[in-house]
RNA sequence: GGCCCCGUCGUCUAGCGGUUAGGAUCCAUGGUUUUCAUCCAUGUCACAGGAGUUCAAUUCUCCUCGGGGUCACCA
């Protein structure tokens, strides 16, 4: 069974890059009928917070990415790590190092001065004398001194490292006994049964160290997939310092989970020419072997397009529910269908859609100057009056009713459609853009329509008087 | 700097020795529309450079250049 994982350290919100690797891991587990588990890497007590953990969980909930089983917290597993550290110590595969921080710093500075690679010199690797007084030792693992470590990576291929180039006896437990990252990752991944590790390729150079741990414990390696970074527009690794990388910010901006996930799955991964993927399709088609080798630049142009696409294809009742989040309650509005049908074609985000609806529902306070100039240069007022008369007398319920009324005026007065359309648009919306006015009228109703027409006429007439 | 990874339109990508180098997005133009948006159509734009290998290289190899990642008692 395929078991994948997502292992964030709770130092802040969930960001786009993390979400993408989480998505890849999730999809791959689902595709194989396996498990996707969550591990919170909260060993650095100073930088971690419970709020951050909750924020990450909340983001997962919003996106509908469910993890399997209980969440593992590294902070609760000290006993386990201690046990394996002791085992390695007992087996002579790890040892206590009494080098002080000062001594270590000195060593490093000397190496740097000689333009050598900075590495631990193995002073205590085979030490059996009396340890120096007053120093709490760290535990170092005995790493191979020579030879080759090959990372068999499902994305990058076989990547080989020379032991003498990259390895030294790295610390697996600090002076206070706390285990270090590369050690606990290997322990946890193994113990949690994780056999397919999908993570950012910034971890590729950590992998040899983790392999050292696996080897020391005699464990089988998982399959690794190192996915390329997402870069910002400067070409650097996308970080929390880059704007708009908080996943939940996308909810606030009015993006749908479907759009965001679809956008992210196509960043660094593709399936031929296909652009639109439902969650079901992603689960069916995703395969980490199709992940790109090169980094991609984060650019949300396509996200907007996808979001618009998903809004267009969302049923109205669901849309109405989603819109509540953006301060728009129209569940009881009798023209809900007409309204949403007209607006879902024109909004890029849910937030924008909510604003568009409000624009229609609220009587314009002022009129766009340019629009007025364009719309009211002829006998617009008399045309509006004629239309007003038709309204009073005629049937008016559906957009088509209003449209028919407009047609009548146009025919009778022998004018173009624009002659009535433009002033009416200004009366209703206060500007030139916007949805079809017959829809607007149907939504706000006959009374409000007449009110808005009267208002614009009054405004225009008073202005004419003023300029005279 | 050492080690490692990467390099196709502005951006996301297809390509896996022989293609008019494809799609999407963005942008531009035209059509549709009373307006705007949608939608439809059309167009502009790419194999980093140089050597090899080969009848043939975007594709394989090497070098150069460029970009990125990583080098902790952080994760």
Three-state secondary structure along chain A?
CCEEEECCCCCCCCEHHHHHHHHHHHHHHHHCCCEEEEEECCCCCCCCCHHHHHHHHHHHHHHCCCCCCCCEEHHHCHHHHHHHHHHHHHCCCEEEECCCHHHHHHHHHHHHHCCCCCCCCCCCCCCCCCCCCCCCCEEEECCCCCCEEEEEECCCEEEEEEHHHHCCCCEEECCCCCECHHHHHHHHHHHCCCCEEEEEHHHHHHHHHHHHHHHHHCCCCCEEEEECCEECCCCCECCCCCCCCEHHHHHHCCCCHHHHHHHHHCCCECCCCCCCCCHHHHHHHCCHHHECCCCEECCCHHHHHHHHHHHHCCCHHHHHHHHHCCCCCCCCCCCHHHHHHHHCCCCCCHHHHHHHHHHHHCCCCCCCHHHHHHHCCCCHHHHHHHHHHHHHHCCCCCHHHHHHHHHHHHHHHCCCHHHHHHHHHHHHHCCCCCCCHHHHHHHHHHHHHHHHHHHHHHHHHHHHHHHC
What is the pLDDT, as a whole number, of residue A266?
98
Please tell me which residue lies nearest to nucleotide B13, judged from CA to C1'.
A270
Residue pair A298/A232 in contact (Cβ under 8 Å)? The answer is yes
Same fold, A77-227 and A369-467: no
Q: Does the pLDDT at position A468 exceed 60?
A: no
Interatomic CA–C1' length for residue A237 and nucleotide B27, angstroms:
27
**Residue A289 CB neighbour total at 10 angstroms:** 7
Interatomic CA–C1' length for residue A170 and nucleotide B12, angstroms:
40
pLDDT digits (tens, 9 = 90+) for A149-194: 999 999 999 999 999 999 999 999 999 999 999 999 999 999 999 9
Q: Does the pLDDT at position A467 exceed 70?
A: no
Question: How large is the average pLDDT for residues A422-443?
Answer: 94
Name the nucleotide with the smallest C1'–CA separation from A291.
B13
Chain-wide mean pLDDT for chain A? 93
CATH superfamily of A77-227: HUPs (3.40.50.620)
Instruction: Catalogue the active-site residues of A.
Output: 240
- Domain A369-467, what fold? Arc Repressor Mutant, subunit A (1.10.10)
Confidence of residue A114 (pLDDT cuts 50, 70, 90): confident
* Boundaries of every domain in chain A: 3-74+230-297, 77-227, 314-361, 369-467
A172-186, A393-407, A409-423 — which one is most confidently predicted on average?
A172-186
Q: Does the pLDDT at position A242 exceed 90?
A: no
Name the nucleotide with the smallest C1'–CA separation from A418.
B34
Q: Does the pLDDT at position A66 exceed 90?
A: yes
pLDDT digits (tens, 9 = 90+) for A8-42: 999 999 999 999 999 999 999 999 999 999 999 99
Confidence of residue A446 (pLDDT cuts 50, 70, 90): very high
- Bases on strand B under 7 Å from any protein CB: 1-8, 10-14, 22-26, 33-39, 67-75
Interatomic CA–C1' length for residue A157 and nucleotide B60, angstroms:
16
- Domain A3-74+230-297, what fold? Rossmann fold (3.40.50)
Residue pair A216/A141 in contact (Cβ under 8 Å)? The answer is yes
ipTM, interface predicted TM-score of the complex: 0.96
- A368: its two tokens: 């766009």
Q: Does the pLDDT at position A466 exceed 80?
A: no
Name the nucleotide with the smallest C1'–CA separation from A267.
B12
- Residue A165: closest CA among A103, A118, A212, A207: A118
Confidence of residue A378 (pLDDT cuts 50, 70, 90): confident
pTM of the model: 0.95
Confidence of residue A260 (pLDDT cuts 50, 70, 90): very high
What is the pLDDT, as a whole number, of residue A116?
85
Interatomic CA–C1' length for residue A276 and nucleotide B23, angstroms:
12
Please tell me which residue lies nearest to nucleotide B11, judged from CA to C1'.
A299
């Amino acid at each position: 069974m395929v078991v994948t994982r997502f292992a964030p350290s709770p130092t802040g919100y969930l960001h786009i890059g993390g979400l993408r690797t989480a998505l890849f891991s999730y999809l791959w587990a689902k595709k194989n009928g396996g498990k996707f588990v969550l591990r919170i890497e909260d060993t650095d007590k100073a930088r971690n917070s419970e709020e951050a953990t909750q924020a990450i969980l909340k983001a997962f909930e919003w996106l509908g990415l469910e993890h399997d089983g209980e969440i593992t917290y590294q902070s609760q597993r000290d006993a386990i790590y201690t046990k394996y550290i002791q085992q390695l110590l007992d087996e002579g595969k790890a040892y206590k190092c009494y080098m002080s921080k000062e001594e270590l710093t000195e060593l490093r500075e000397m190496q740097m001065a000689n333009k050598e690679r900075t590495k631990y010199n193995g002073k205590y690797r085979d030490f059996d004398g009396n340890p120096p007084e007053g120093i709490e030792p760290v535990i170092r693992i005995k790493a191979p001194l020579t030879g080759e470590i090959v990372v068999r990576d499902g994305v990058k291929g076989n990547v080989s490292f020379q032991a003498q180039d990259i390895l030294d006896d790295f610390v697996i437990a600090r002076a206070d006994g706390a285990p270090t990252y590369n050690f606990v990752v290997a322990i946890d991944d193994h113990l949690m049964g994780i056999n397919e590790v999908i993570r950012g390729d910034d971890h590729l150079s950590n992998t040899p160290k983790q392999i050292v741990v696996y080897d020391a414990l005699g464990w089988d390696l998982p399959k690794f997939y190192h996915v390329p970074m997402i870069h910002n527009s400067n070409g650097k690794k996308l970080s929390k310092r880059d704007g708009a990388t908080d996943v939940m910010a996308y909810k606030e901006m009015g993006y749908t989970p479907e759009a965001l996930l679809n956008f992210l799955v196509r960043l660094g991964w593709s399936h031929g020419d296909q652009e639109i993927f439902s969650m079901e399709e992603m689960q069916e088609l995703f395969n980490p072997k199709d992940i790109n080798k090169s980094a991609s630049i984060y650019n949300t142009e396509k996200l907007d397009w996808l979001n618009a696409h998903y809004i267009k294809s969302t049923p109205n009742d669901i849309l109405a529910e989603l819109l509540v989040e953006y301060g728009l309650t129209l569940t009881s509005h009798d023209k809900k269908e007409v309204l949403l049908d007209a607006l879902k074609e024109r909004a890029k985000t849910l937030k924008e859609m909510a604003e568009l609806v409000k624009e229609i529902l609220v009587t314009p306070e002022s009129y766009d100057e340019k629009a007025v100039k364009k719309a009211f240069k002829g006998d617009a007022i008399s045309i509006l009056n004629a239309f007003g008369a038709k309204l009073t007398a005629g049937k008016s319920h559906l957009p088509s009713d209003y449209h028919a009324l407009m047609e009548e005026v146009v025919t009778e007065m022998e004018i173009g459609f624009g002659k009535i359309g433009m002033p009416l648009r200004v009366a209703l919306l206060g500007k030139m853009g916007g949805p079809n006015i017959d829809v607007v009228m149907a939504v706000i109703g006959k009374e409000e329509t007449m009110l808005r027409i009267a208002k614009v006429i009054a405004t225009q007439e008073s202005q004419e008087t003023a300029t005279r």
